Amino acid sequence: MLSTLLILVFLPCCLSFPVIPKTTLDDLDFFKDYFHRFFFTKEKSQHYALEDQLRFLQHFFRLEETGWLDEPTKAIIRQPRCGVRDIADYSFFPGKPKITSNPVTYSVINYPRSMNRRTVEKILWKAAEVWSSVTPLRFWRVYRRDADIEFAFLAGDHGDAYPFDGKGDILAHAFAPDPDYQGIVHFDSDEHWSYFEEGINLFLVAVHEIGHALGLAHSQDSDSIMFPTYQYQDPRLFRLSDDDIIAIQTLYY
């Protein structure tokens, strides 16, 4: 009798505890992984409350700084994006590294399955020309492995400590200029690359990654080609934003 009475007394209290939906837990896990990959490492994140981490990310993407995992925040972290880490409030990599040779040589190591070689070569040349149109830089295609910039289409774990994740989230990545090795631009070969809206537009991603190879970090301006997430626009109408032009000319003028 006593045990039954205790159950009846405590049952309403027990039922009052909120049950966190699985979708919410999944979203939180996704956010934490995203934040560790692109902002603070797990070790550094331990010094910041989850609310502070959310505000930091929202500040970078110029969202309302609610400190909650709200719908705009969930939407931005679910978008396909570049694999380069985000450096809040900076347009350049630390030390402002840049390529010192001119013309800038580039080589193409291999090609995606979804496009023919000639089309890929034309797209990469046009992407490079975007940056030469606003700087003194000129680009020159070479057929050797010691070019200033090397383009390759790779999948999964490809030996640089930044594995691709298959079709979906991470589209490509590039490394800042370094005097000890050539610039490297890697595209995820599991993506469906194209020159149109279908799939992932190679031209737009290539312009972005060449920007990294020249020394630009990510921009907080959503109109910039250096914004971290992929946003389709018609390549025939593409123009660099003022933010892009000011940043690249700061390095190369």
Question: What does the chain come to in residues?
Answer: 253
- Given 64, 129, 197, 209, the catalytic residue: 209
Is residue 197 part of the annotated active site? The answer reads: no
Active-site positions read 209
